[in-house]
Amino acid sequence: MTKISKRYFGILLRQRKDSKTVPFFVFVAKAKDVKQWAGIRRIKEEEKGSQRVAKPARIKSVFNFLDASSINTIPNSILLAFEENKARFTPINKILEKEKFKANKIFLDDSFFNECEEDFEFGFLEFSFFDDQPDYEKPALIVDGQHRLYGISAYQNENVPIVIVGLIDATLQEQAFQFVVINKKAVSVSTENIKSILADFDTPELEKRLAAVSITYGNAPSTLKHVNDSSDSPFYHLLDWSYNRDDQEGKHLVPITAIEQCFRYIRKIFDVLENDEDSLREFFYSIWKAVQKVYPELWGEDNKLMKKVSVNALNEYIVDYIQYLWPMDYIDIYDPESVEGEVERLLKNIPRSFWISEWSIKVQDNSNVRELIKEDLKTMSSNAKAKKRAWSDNLELPKLD
């Protein structure tokens, strides 16, 4: 157990005149440094917690945003809270007075205060902590921005500085209040506004930067571009669309309508992902990475598995299965490893032979064929559990002796 002391220079701001107002300490620090002493009091783990469980997909999306371009920045501040007696603020004037320095010659000059001389003070915030303290006992608790802090601190190429706003002597109730206000008062920018703004900056460079971080711009299908262009995507350079016409790499087997339909079905079943594009995409990737692992010799080749009707049927079959497991906490849809592992286990019951055998009907994209595929997938799963049955017992599609 090692005691660590920290000291940061910044300003203490009292935003309102009421004496009960919680002051803010505003400063800049390295994200990796802040992660050492800023913890989480999660709703599911601690009484009077106000934070949700961190979502790996959202943390990864912040990391990917920084990694996408060396000029991408995150100007939003991280909101922390120091409970009573966790940190001590010392005005710069007190420190300078001890040194018999006439502070008013520098720090009391009106030009330093932007007409807010009654509202803030320059000074130092100091606190200590032990290196083995649990998250909820650390000097500061994260009120807003946990995914940003974790994503930025995980970025190894640079030690990125971030803007911190710290609530000083903030009760747990004040922290809960701020969390609720921040999340309830957030207003999404309308698609129409985004189109209007971007119309003035319609350049290939901006389009490329936005696509790289999965931001929707105009009518451009940024999600499809990410699915096609990201090396993390199991469908890397496999989409069949005009965007890929001049691209010599990849086989362009899967229609974009198949991918769009997959995303629509996931949104329909898991409406919690509707406005969480990063988690939605990671969930989709996890499903299909598992498929790729189970059928490596079929992946990216021209066969039944890669047809649109099969992609959509398999997607619906898997998503329905996950929907059954999720309420019982057998799977975490926000954890890519959890999803990928469970899908792999499910697909072990569906042999490669099913996809390469001759089928009794023509493989075409319609709802009837899709339902037949799903029914056969369910039957094969039942056959595997029965053990005494062959995998092909009672199937509709394969023409087998």
pLDDT tens sequence for the chain (401 residues): 899 999 999 999 999 898 888 999 999 999 999 999 999 876 545 444 445 567 888 899 899 999 988 999 999 999 999 988 899 999 987 777 665 555 444 555 667 778 887 888 899 999 999 988 888 889 999 988 999 999 999 999 999 999 999 999 988 878 877 876 776 655 555 554 555 455 555 556 666 666 666 665 544 456 788 888 888 999 998 988 766 655 555 578 898 889 999 999 999 999 998 888 889 999 999 999 999 999 999 999 999 999 999 999 999 999 999 999 998 888 999 999 999 999 999 999 999 999 999 999 999 989 999 999 999 999 999 998 887 889 989 999 998 76
> Do 108 and 253 have their domain in common?
no
- Dihedral angle of Cα 326, 332, 338, 340, to the nearest 10 degrees: 60
In a domain, 205, yes or no: no
Nearest in space to 228 (alpha carbons), one of 267, 256, 266, 262: 256
Burial class (CB in 10 A: 0-12, 13-18, 19+), 43: middle
H or E stretch at 319? helix 308-325
In a domain, 399, yes or no: no
**What domain count does the chain have?**
2
DSSP letter assigned to residue 83: P
Query: What is each CA distance from 7 to 28, 37, 79, 152, 301, in whole angstroms?
Result: 12, 12, 18, 21, 59
In a domain, 287, yes or no: yes
Question: What are residue 127's DSSP bridge partners?
Answer: 6
> Do 109 and 237 have their domain in common?
no
**Which pLDDT value is given to residue 99?**
59
Angle CA(148)–CA(135)–CA(24) in degrees, nearest 5?
60
Largest CA distance in the chain: 99
In a domain, 197, yes or no: no
d(CA 76, CA 160): 13
For 162-190, what is each residue's pLDDT tens digit?
Answer: 999 999 998 887 887 787 677 665 555 55
Query: Beta strands 161-168 and 78-82: pairing type?
Result: parallel
> Do 177 and 241 have their domain in common?
no
> Do 170 and 262 have their domain in common?
no
d(CA 318, CA 377): 10
In a domain, 156, yes or no: yes
Coil/strand/helix, residue 181: helix
**Packing angle of the helix pair 308-325, 367-386 (nearest 10 deg):** 50
In a domain, 50, yes or no: yes
> Do 225 and 315 have their domain in common?
yes
Q: Quick check: 40 and 54 in contact, CB under 8 A?
A: yes
> Do 166 and 232 have their domain in common?
no
**How far, in whole angstroms, is CA 206 from its chain's centroid?**
22
Tokens of residue 57, six digits: 């997909």
Coil/strand/helix, residue 381: helix
What DSSP letter does each residue of 186-221 carry, written as one string?
Answer: --PPPHHHHHHHHHTT--HHHHHHHHHTT--BTTB-
In a domain, 190, yes or no: no
Q: Quick check: 79 and 113 in contact, CB under 8 A?
A: no
For 360-394, what is each residue's pLDDT tens digit?
Answer: 999 998 999 999 999 999 999 999 888 788 998 99
- How many residues comprise the chain? 401
In a domain, 313, yes or no: yes
> Do 107 and 228 have their domain in common?
no
Share of the chain above pLDDT 70, in %: 81
> Do 178 and 284 have their domain in common?
no
d(CA 58, CA 74): 14
Half-sphere exposure for 301 (CA within 13 Å, toward CB): 10
> Do 180 and 319 have their domain in common?
no
> Do 34 and 95 have their domain in common?
yes
**E strands within 238-310?**
239-240, 254-255
Handedness of CA 323, 325, 329, 331 (dihedral sign): negative
Domain that holds residue 176: 3-185
For 296-314, what is each residue's pLDDT tens digit?
Answer: 999 999 999 999 999 999 9
The predicted model scores a pTM of 0.63
> Do 173 and 223 have their domain in common?
no
> Do 284 and 341 have their domain in common?
yes
Q: Quick check: 114 and 13 in contact, CB under 8 A?
A: no
